[in-house]
Structure 1
Amino acid sequence: MIKCSSFMIMTNVSNIVISLSNKYKNMKLIKIVQYLFYLLIFALPWQTRLIYQTGELNGGFWEYGTKALYGTEILLAVIFILIISQIVISIKGQKIEWQLRPLDYFILGFIIFILLSTFWSIDCSQTLYYFSLLIEGLALFYLASRLGLKFRLLSYSFVFSGLLQSILAIQQFLTQMIYGNKWLGMASQNVTDLGVSTIEGAGRFMRAYGSLSHPNMLGGWLVVCIIFLLGLLFQYQKRFYHAPWKVSKALIGQAIFLFSSLVIMTYGLVLSFSRSAWIGLIVAMIFIWIGLFKQKKKDLLKFYLRLNLIILLVIVLFSMVYGQLLINRVSVESRLEVQSIDQRLQGYGQAFSIFKAHSLVGVGLGNYTAALYEVDNTRPAWEYQPVHNLDLLTMAELGIIGELILIGIFISILLIIFKQWRVRAEENRVILLSAALAIVVMAIFDHYLWSLYFGILLFWLILGLSIREE
């Protein structure tokens, strides 16, 4: 298998890339790769794709059985090819010693397990397709942790992307319509269409999607973007506080842009009406409070309090006009919210049933909805949804063996985080860890971080950044 052998390439690449970027600071190709990586982050929410196999169940479209090539996959492939070519040139004639960490061994074991699972998966082709997405996610994980990315440029790539998505979200909510564009990967939708995600108040309102396929995905992306925006605002505060006499027009312009972005992106997040995203942001912001307290940075704490008040003010102003929508979403008492909770609880029960029937090795990566279809093949295609909990989903697909290996990966990442924190605990590290924490929290309430291309790449990207080497 070509993609199985790609693990050794990824680990070897990860060991070399950071040494190359440190040794050759002015190396043009490394800088090109870094800027392409920033572009990849900006473009990640755009779902432009070429479908080469349409999934179908009971005559309806089956998203989780659909195979496609995404535009950002091409960009990721270009990045990886450039890195490999540079490595081949740089190490020609040299003896290289590969150093594998416990994390790398767990990832290798996970890849081998997924490949072996094709023998017992419900649909072998489905497992292989999701395996290819996993390999891309792991490639992104290694690149994010070892590429020597600049925190400021990294953050701006998230912020510009989040700002554009928020503007799009505001337009969608105000017009209650999504204008389709196949080149941007957006399907035409409006509030009257069947299957559109809505919320009820004084009428029926469509939740904002941005360019993504579900409002929860928009909410998750904006949470990450807002967290990185907070990191940029911290950098601005430090420059202003330590040298207020050097305030320039450029610094004032930067302040206007950053504070305006915070308002717009908070508004966009509210319009997603994603409870999982809201909870993720709240937990992340509490973690930032704890991190700043431990560092005893009083000036940053005061500044962070003002940022919290700005976010709260945006929510209050929105609630003055659409307060009933927020109340219905939070209280979980309206008809749609009760129905949503019932479906989630039913999904938990289904996941436990599938796990019990395939407890040792699971039904196969990417095969959860296929397993649901085997249990009951009478429902319409759109009802076959993954369980809204990443842990339950991985248990059903991977079984006890796969889940234990995955836990080993996460524990290894945590050990690296603790080691790095002891060496260097500063606000940039707090921001990266709060983004990872937000992802973990959102994974408790949703499935897209494991079941959809965008979510898979986002999941491994943020985990990689959480152990980013300076």
Structure 2
Amino acid sequence: MKLIKIVQYLFYLLIFALPWQTRLIYQTGELNGGFWEYGTKALYGTEILLAVIFILIISQIVISIKGQKIEWQLRPLDYFILGFIIFILLSTFWSIDCSQTLYYFSLLIEGLALFYLASRLGLKFRLLSYSFVFSGLLQSILAIQQFLTQMIYGNKWLGMASQNVTDLGVSTIEGAGRFMRAYGSLSHPNMLGGWLVVCIIFLLGLLFQYQKRFYHAPWKVSKALIGQAIFLFSSLVIMTYGLVLSFSRSAWIGLIVAMIFIWIGLFKQKKKDLLKFYLRLNLIILLVIVLFSMVYGQLLINRVSVESRLEVQSIDQRLQGYGQAFSIFKAHSLVGVGLGNYTAALYEVDNTRPAWEYQPVHNLDLLTMAELGIIGELILIGIFISILLIIFKQWRVRAEENRVILLSAALAIVVMAIFDHYLWSLYFGILLFWLILGLSIREE
């Protein structure tokens, strides 16, 4: 097997394993005697896998260019990314906590490495999609178990902490009683919801491939194809159920926007057969939600209407967070407080609160403005604009349903980033963010 093939399969494995939060904490963050997640430094199990992939890639490059003249062709995107890396390194001189910036810089480098690998590794769409689907299916089964038992069984080897609905600090929703939201193997239900949104989108891509095979050659239907159909449709039901159990509004909105984009993409391509098939898939998702609401309708109503006690409290905290972010930005408008230093900046403003109250603002743009300032934010905008230009160029050359799926996943990530911070503030989110952006400009 060629080295590049080994790297590709390890990459698929990395995608499957990404939600598992197994880690070795080597420096515990602490504020006012309490655990401080955003100041904690750890080595994650998937980081080891990513390091192996990176070493193999370097080996492949060395073998390929041995004895040859190297000609680097840098795009505007590459220059912006290089400038961003230099800016972050320089920011250690003015960051509130230099060690914190360096730790988050290492996570950023891992995310950027994943970005380049995802875009240039020549990944097969089918295998890539199955990596997401198998991972999402397992997370959904775990989510269903957690919701039905109202308990999370701890396992240090899987990176899961023991929790139940009566514990303080557990994410819950109120209806006819108090219910724990599903976490999967992740540290927050919103993260589970975000992951399942991406997995469902790639599942839709696999279902489109199945429909094309069936539509163009129905006489060639085999037992394997029937088995594939049963697996894919069952996965759609289970993963939709898992997404509902996360009770993540940001994830729900992200999926809705992504599915609308898929409608537009298929319509523009005049894929009449896929449009009819996609309508059926939408009805399946809607049916799962309706069936759930027949039993737990009050929970959904409370979550959507934001009128219950917990929802009002959640909205108030977010609005307060927006105000804090603007205040921090005004005080450090040019270069920010430093990558990964937002919660440290909150502590400088008010050091009397318990550790768990020091949370990043629930908006990626406000968070990056506070941490990077105007200069860093402009460079980051340059990166995003460069990615958009590449997307438009690729779309003109080849617009097909696989690319619609990749772009809808990226759009979902952007939408969820408007309502949450984990895509910038936590290891899993950072890797997911750059992974999906890389896949959005994936080269065939």
Shorter-chain TM-score: what band?
over 0.9
| Per-residue deviation, 1:28 | 1.2
Superposed CA offset, 1:372-418 (max 9, x none): 00000000000000000000000000000000000000000000000
Superposed CA offset, 1:37-62 (max 9, x none): 00000000000000000000000000
| Per-residue deviation, 1:233 | 0.0
CA distance in 2, matches of 1:274, 1:352: 25
CA distance in 1, matches of 2:62, 2:79: 24
CA distance in 1, matches of 2:105, 2:24: 18
CA distance in 1, matches of 2:355, 2:142: 29
| Per-residue deviation, 1:89 | 1.5
Secondary structure of 1:195's counterpart equals: coil
| Per-residue deviation, 1:86 | 1.4
| Per-residue deviation, 1:325 | 0.0
Superposed CA offset, 1:406-454 (max 9, x none): 0000000000000000000000000000000000000000000000000
CA distance in 1, matches of 2:251, 2:94: 35
State the partner residue of 2:54.
80
CA distance in 1, matches of 2:271, 2:114: 33
| Per-residue deviation, 1:91 | 1.2
Superposed CA offset, 1:91-134 (max 9, x none): 11111100000000000000000000000000000000000000
CA distance in 2, matches of 1:321, 1:36: 41
Superposed CA offset, 1:43-86 (max 9, x none): 00000000000000000000000000000000000001001011
State the partner residue of 1:9.
none
| Per-residue deviation, 1:144 | 0.1
CA distance in 2, matches of 1:332, 1:33: 46
| Per-residue deviation, 1:344 | 0.1
Secondary structure of 2:173's counterpart equals: strand
Secondary structure of 1:199's counterpart equals: strand
Match of residue 446, structure 1, among 420, 424, 444: 420
| CA-atom RMSD in angstroms | 0.4
| Per-residue deviation, 1:267 | 0.0
CA distance in 2, matches of 1:412, 1:87: 25
* Structure 1 residue runs of 4 or more that deviate by more than 2 Å after TM superposition: none
Indicate the percent of aligned positions where both proteins have the same amino acid.
Answer: 100
Secondary structure of 2:225's counterpart equals: helix
State the partner residue of 1:4.
none
Secondary structure of 2:410's counterpart equals: helix
CA distance in 2, matches of 1:116, 1:87: 29
Matched positions, count: 444
CA distance in 2, matches of 1:263, 1:329: 21
Secondary structure of 1:318's counterpart equals: helix
Superposed CA offset, 1:195-224 (max 9, x none): 000000000000000000000000000000
State the partner residue of 1:159.
133
5+ residue gaps, structure 1, are 1-26
CA distance in 2, matches of 1:125, 1:335: 39
State the partner residue of 1:171.
145
CA distance in 1, matches of 2:64, 2:119: 20
Secondary structure of 1:193's counterpart equals: coil
CA distance in 1, matches of 2:55, 2:426: 24
| Per-residue deviation, 1:87 | 1.3
CA distance in 1, matches of 2:11, 2:41: 24
State the partner residue of 1:139.
113
State the partner residue of 1:59.
33
What TM-score, normalized by structure 2, do the two folds share? 1.00
Match of residue 230, structure 2, among 256, 264, 281: 256
State the partner residue of 1:50.
24
CA distance in 1, matches of 2:61, 2:90: 31
Secondary structure of 2:321's counterpart equals: helix
Q: Which moved more, 1:174-183 or 1:91-100?
A: 91-100
| Per-residue deviation, 1:154 | 0.1
CA distance in 2, matches of 1:104, 1:31: 25
| Per-residue deviation, 1:183 | 0.1
| Per-residue deviation, 1:181 | 0.1
| Per-residue deviation, 1:173 | 0.0
